[in-house]
Structure 1
Amino acid sequence: MRGDSRWWMLLPAPVRELPADLAVVIVAVLATAGSVFIPGVNQTPLRVVFGLAFVLFVPGYALISALFPEAGELPEEDADTDSGERAPAGIDGIERVALSFGTSIAIVPLIGLVLNFTPFGIRLAPIVISVGGITLLFVAVAAQRRRALPASEQFQVPYETWLADARVELLEPDTRTDAALNVLLAVSVIIAVSAVGYAVAVPQQGESFTEFYLLTEGDDGELVADDYPTEYTRGETGSLVVGVTNQEHESAQYTVLVQLQRVEVANNSTTVLEESRLNRWQVQLAHNETWRLQHSVTPEMSGDRLRLAYLLYKGSPPAEPTVDNAYRELHLWINVSDSSASLASELPSAAPHSR
């Protein structure tokens, strides 16, 4: 025990004298940073638990502690004097908690707004560091202002009083009815905490779907869903980017087929007259994983309004893949000219001559 006391005395005086509630704020900031930046821990529900308190309550509580270091109620011997009644300068516990939530909701968006105009941007790491740093600054100011007050006027969280009252209410009830109500209250709290913990640890899955899309590469190298090539020459190639994103909440295997189809549209019905298979890929994706591939399209038939169809299947495709039996389908209408016809159109016509 003496060894522990000597170790404690080695700490700086401001740390030894730090009020318990401000020490909890510092621990909350460090725990949140750890749950965000420590590998493995940042994939657990702890990140959500600490993150909610960190955003909704902790910075506001630190600010309110810096603004109101006084206790909400003065001791009875100081409350009444010969000169009249002395009004307390601080706020009570309920007001402190309410203002902590309100100021936290105001502080965090303001920090995000400032970060938006900096090179760091609104990203996870800058937000955690900025909010945590400002919270620790508020804690330092709050501790200094609280130490400047007489001990009787300093705000203190009455932990010991709460624990003593709770022990008396739970373990020494006045009647059997109070004992039964205490048991019911304890069971209700356990059920409520368990329900919240389960909701955080096992969140409900959203809608299951797969994103399937075509992109092109712009002049600046960015991928955009615009300016698709629609004019081709038979035997020559064009470039497209096909993408798949798995949002099925489970691992999935996909097959992507690319077909060039000559179709006939009549009476709201589309009939495939001729088709040629251009490409085929198989890919295995985990949940929330994306696959993209830049590839070349080389038409093997010519004609106007040919359908360049991309067919997506989960697993292996059927023996006769069509637009109707595909899991997802994309298509472009393209025109393909013969190379000989294209060359002939580019040559100048011969002028007639006579001998």
Structure 2
Amino acid sequence: MTRDVDPKLLLPRPIRRLPADLAVIGALVILTIAVVFIPGLNTSPVRAIIGLLFVLFPPGYAFIAALFPEGISTDEKMTESTEGNPSRFGSGIDGLERVALSFGTSIAIVPLIGLILNFTPWGIRLVPVLLSLSLFTLCMTVIAAVRRWDLPAEERFRVPYKQWGVATKVELLEPDTRADAALNVVLAISLILAVGSVGYVVAVPNQGESFSEFYLLTKNESDQFVADDYPTNFTQGEGKPLYVGIENNEHQQVSYTVLVRLQQVSVTNNTTQVKNTQELKRFQTTLDDNSTWRKKHTISPSMTGTRLRLQYLLYKGSVPANPSQKSAYRELHLWVNVSDSGTAASVQPPSAGANNHVTSAES
């Protein structure tokens, strides 16, 4: 003969004793971590909804619960003071105050944790922020639970779920007047419209501007990427490194082709004429939205001359048969000098340097 076993008995005793409101906070933390890391959920509108709720409420609620484990007295604990006014036992705060303080405290705690992370090696990124907020919330939840257990049962804060349910049922289903019934209908319609509006905004977000960043970088003496100190003087056959980068902000997957070429040009009456062109490199890559690609390459020119144009052309897809600056999606270039082997290269003035047409840079 089998006996039914209460599923709660399978849980550790501290978890079984956890107050209902604190158990909900812990569940929200676990749910948020799940929707961020589980494939499928992390690309659905559910992630934005749960993430917004997590940032705005649980950290503050857990912190307030740790500060105020006491509840205020119930109606049965009300007594008349000598002045004839009711007085309450306990030093806690009521439910409405807790909710208001929870939102306000969360709005203060989240930026503070972000500020602290900014001075750590992890920085302000999704995973460090999520784990830090989760750890803080769970620690405050444990402290709040321990402080409540240390109080007598009658002094502990409890969320009056049953009273709220009964009061809501009476207000909605048993209105005193027709005016109250009409207000209930208006309230229900307003709530549906509000939830629908928020759901639509989350499900169909405004994507904003679509663009791709295209840039050149070098490395400084500290081995950090900088948009400075580009090589401008080469010797024929000598190689110098550069880093070309692309960041996809097109809100979709894009295939890119980068064409690198060296050109001998002349400028007459503000008109640039290309006399000779040498293709040096060609790179291809496919990037998902909000992804970055960076490629180290060595420039080893064989064409010699002064004030040559080292040009980088970015195309979406393949390169046309006759590539040009006009047909490219993005363009950037450096002015360089290439001398014969054993011949010193002339130095260009700073105004002809390498910072022209660099769309963006990372450091």
Q: TM-score range by the shorter chain?
A: 0.7 to 0.9
Q: Which residue of 1 aligns with 2:106?
A: 104
Out of 230, 255, 258, the residue aligned to residue 256 of structure 1 is 258
- For residues 204-256 of structure 1, what are the alpha-carbon distances to aligned partners after superposition, in whole Å with 9 as ceiling and x for unaligned? 21211111111224444443322211112234333322222221112222232
Q: Which residue of 2 aligns with 1:333?
A: 335
Q: Which residue of 2 aligns with 1:348?
A: none
Q: Which residue of 1 aligns with 2:291?
A: 289
Q: Give the SS at the match of 2:200.
A: helix
Residue 165 (structure 1) aligned with residue 167 (structure 2): yes
Q: Aligned partners of 1:68 and 1:108: how far apart in 2?
A: 20
Out of 65, 86, 93, the residue aligned to residue 95 of structure 2 is 93
Out of 130, 133, 136, the residue aligned to residue 131 of structure 1 is 133
Structure 2 letter corresponding to 1:46: V
Judge conservation of contact 1:74–1:153 (CA < 8 Å) in 2: no
Q: Aligned partners of 1:37 and 1:120: how far apart in 2?
A: 18
Structure with max Cα Rg? 1
Judge conservation of contact 2:217–2:228 (CA < 8 Å) in 1: yes
Q: Aligned partners of 2:284 and 2:15: how far apart in 1?
A: 60
Structure 1 letter corresponding to 2:333: H
Cα distance, 1:236–1:125 mapped onto 2, change above 3 Å = closer
Cα distance, 1:197–1:4 mapped onto 2, change above 3 Å = farther
- For residues 21-72 of structure 1, what are the alpha-carbon distances to aligned partners after superposition, in whole Å with 9 as ceiling and x for unaligned? 1221121222223233444433433333333333322122122222223333
Q: Which residue of 1 aligns with 2:48?
A: 48
Q: Aligned partners of 1:226 and 1:87: how far apart in 2?
A: 69
Q: Aligned partners of 1:294 and 1:35: how far apart in 2?
A: 36
Judge conservation of contact 1:72–1:93 (CA < 8 Å) in 2: no
Q: What is the percentage of aligned positions where both structures have the same residue?
A: 58
Structure 2 letter corresponding to 1:232: F
Cα distance, 1:155–1:257 mapped onto 2, change above 3 Å = same
Cα distance, 1:236–1:128 mapped onto 2, change above 3 Å = closer
TM-score by length of 1: 0.82
- For residues 120-139 of structure 1, what are the alpha-carbon distances to aligned partners after superposition, in whole Å with 9 as ceiling and x for unaligned? 65554444444333333333
Structure 2 letter corresponding to 1:190: I
Deviation at 1:302, TM superposition (A): 2.0
Cα distance, 1:288–1:111 mapped onto 2, change above 3 Å = closer
Deviation at 1:307, TM superposition (A): 1.0
Q: Which residue of 2 aligns with 1:20?
A: 20
Cα distance, 1:143–1:276 mapped onto 2, change above 3 Å = closer
Cα distance, 1:164–1:231 mapped onto 2, change above 3 Å = same
Structure 2 letter corresponding to 1:3: D
Cα distance, 1:44–1:266 mapped onto 2, change above 3 Å = same
Q: Which residue of 2 aligns with 1:308?
A: 310
Q: Which residue of 2 aligns with 1:66?
A: 66
Structure 2 letter corresponding to 1:334: V
Q: Give the SS at the match of 1:339.
A: coil
Q: Aligned partners of 1:10 and 1:338: how far apart in 2?
A: 81
Q: Which residue of 1 aligns with 2:279?
A: 277
Cα distance, 1:221–1:82 mapped onto 2, change above 3 Å = closer
Cα distance, 1:15–1:2 mapped onto 2, change above 3 Å = farther
Structure 2 letter corresponding to 1:54: F
* Alignment size in residue pairs: 342
Moved more, 173-182 or 86-95: 173-182
Cα distance, 1:172–1:292 mapped onto 2, change above 3 Å = same
Q: What's the Cα RMSD here?
A: 3.2
Structure 2 letter corresponding to 1:173: P
Residue 210 (structure 1) aligned with residue 212 (structure 2): yes
1:161-200 alignment runs, 5 A limit: 161-200=163-202
Judge conservation of contact 2:247–2:293 (CA < 8 Å) in 1: yes
Judge conservation of contact 1:74–1:152 (CA < 8 Å) in 2: no
Structure 2 letter corresponding to 1:298: S
- For residues 175-203 of structure 1, what are the alpha-carbon distances to aligned partners after superposition, in whole Å with 9 as ceiling and x for unaligned? 44443432332222122112212322332
Q: Which residue of 2 aligns with 1:3?
A: 4
Structure 2 letter corresponding to 1:188: S
Q: Aligned partners of 2:124 and 2:248: how far apart in 1?
A: 26
Q: Give the SS at the match of 1:256.
A: strand
Out of 298, 301, 317, the residue aligned to residue 299 of structure 1 is 301
Runs (4+) of structure 1 exceeding 6 A deviation are none
Q: Which residue of 1 aligns with 2:79?
A: 79
Deviation at 1:258, TM superposition (A): 1.9
Structure 2 letter corresponding to 1:105: I
Give structure 1 stretches of 5+ with no counterpart: 344-355
Judge conservation of contact 1:35–1:46 (CA < 8 Å) in 2: yes
Structure 2 letter corresponding to 1:42: N
